[in-house]
């Protein structure tokens, strides 16, 4: 199968799936880049990224084929559209990260745009869920049509709302550990290369998920943004989260990241919102 024929087929399915599955919520936007307990399964590591502070987490560049040094994916986010650039593309970008991670297929955020259209600015949680499930369905239809083994693992994307910070971090931890049934019928996970003090790496299984945050840590609604969480670990007794967005990879303390996730309360939006494959 040639990549072009696959992407062409996916494009033809977009309008059909959109007209038969997208259910939107209103009042969501997308921030632009320019504007031990349950966690003990993660070994303490020394980060390749410099230690981040609470307000401005340090990032590393992932512009080489949208791939970060650890092997995870962080697409460049397309420019926002609409009035006052309110139609952001972070939802599409997070979806492209997850699609390439789980299905090993390279589809840009622009190509996936129609899967994630709704009436409000940005991509609402319900729209991101339905779009990802329709994307998985499109892949399944294509594989059946051409009698090929599926590339995406079994599962359904769902929205989860945590009760508080502890519950939120528990959800992330459990999600990152979850295994999925692949085309061969075996249970597996995507891989991420963790870096140690001597700069050697250990490939570890992780299952990324999408999380909604307020990038400025406030409740104004102007910094709402979807990111792709790719790992969580402890170092020097501090909980850390690694997340990808804007063609970069960020390292943040769990407390700082949780605070940003707790501020997503604009309109019908709820704090501590996650989208994960189940």
pLDDT tens digit sequence for 122-166: 899 999 999 999 999 999 999 999 998 888 999 999 999 999 999
Tens digit of each residue's pLDDT (9 = 90 or more) over 218-243: 776 778 999 999 999 998 889 999 99
- Whole-structure pTM value: 0.82
CA 129-133-134 angle, to 5 degrees, is 115
- The DSSP code for 153 is P
Degrees to nearest 5, angle at CA 139 with 138 and 140:
90
| Terminal CA-CA length for the chain | 28
CA 39 – CA 29 distance, rounded (Å):
31
pLDDT tens track for 171-214:
999 999 999 987 777 888 999 988 755 455 678 899 999 999 99
Q: Residue 111 CA to chain centroid, in angstroms?
A: 17
The C-alpha atoms of residue 139 and residue 7 are separated, in whole angstroms, by: 10
d(CA 160, CA 171): 8
How would you label 141-155 residue by residue, b for 16+ Cβ within 10 Å and e otherwise?
ebbeeeeeeebbbeb
Compute, in degrees rounded to 10, the torsion defined by CA atoms 163, 271, 256, 28. 160
Q: What is the pLDDT of residue 8?
A: 58
* Domain 3-277 part of CATH 3.90.70.10: yes
- What's the Rg (C-alpha) of the chain? 18
Nearest CA to 160 out of 54, 276, 5 is that of 276
Strands, E, within the chain: which ranges? 59-61, 157-161, 180-181, 187-188, 191-195, 201-205, 209-214, 224-235, 238-245, 248-253, 273-277
93: part of which helix (H) or strand (E)?
Answer: helix 90-103
């Amino acid at each position: 199968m040639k990549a072009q024929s696959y992407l062409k087929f996916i494009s033809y399915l977009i309008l059909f799936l959109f007209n038969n599955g997208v259910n939107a919520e209103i009042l969501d936007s997308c921030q632009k880049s320019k504007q031990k307990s349950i966690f003990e399964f993660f070994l303490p590591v020394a980060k390749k990224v410099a230690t981040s502070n609470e307000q401005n987490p340090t990032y590393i560049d992932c512009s080489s084929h949208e791939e970060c040094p650890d092997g995870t994916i962080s697409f460049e986010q397309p420019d926002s559209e609409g009035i006052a650039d309110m139609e952001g593309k972070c939802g599409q970008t997070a979806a492209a990260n997850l699609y390439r991670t789980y299905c090993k297929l390279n589809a840009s955020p622009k190509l996936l745009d129609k899967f994630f259209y709704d009436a409000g600015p940005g991509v609402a949680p319900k729209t991101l869920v339905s779009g990802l499930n329709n994307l998985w369905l499109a892949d399944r239809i294509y594989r059946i049509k051409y009698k090929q083994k599926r590339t995406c693992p079994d599962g359904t994307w769902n929205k989860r709302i945590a009760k508080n910070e502890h519950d939120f971090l528990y959800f992330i931890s459990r999600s990152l550990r979850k295994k999925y049934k692949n085309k061969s019928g075996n249970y597996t996970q995507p891989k991420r290369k963790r870096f140690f003090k001597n700069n050697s790496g250990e490939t570890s299984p992780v299952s990324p998920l999408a999380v909604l945050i307020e990038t400025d840590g406030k409740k104004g609604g102007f910094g709402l943004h979807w990111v792709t969480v790719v790992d969580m670990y402890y170092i020097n007794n501090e909980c850390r989260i690694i997340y990808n967005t804007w063609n970069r990879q960020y390292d943040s303390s769990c407390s700082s990241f949780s605070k940003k996730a707790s501020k997503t309360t604009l309109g019908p939006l709820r704090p501590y919102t996650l989208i994960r494959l189940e």
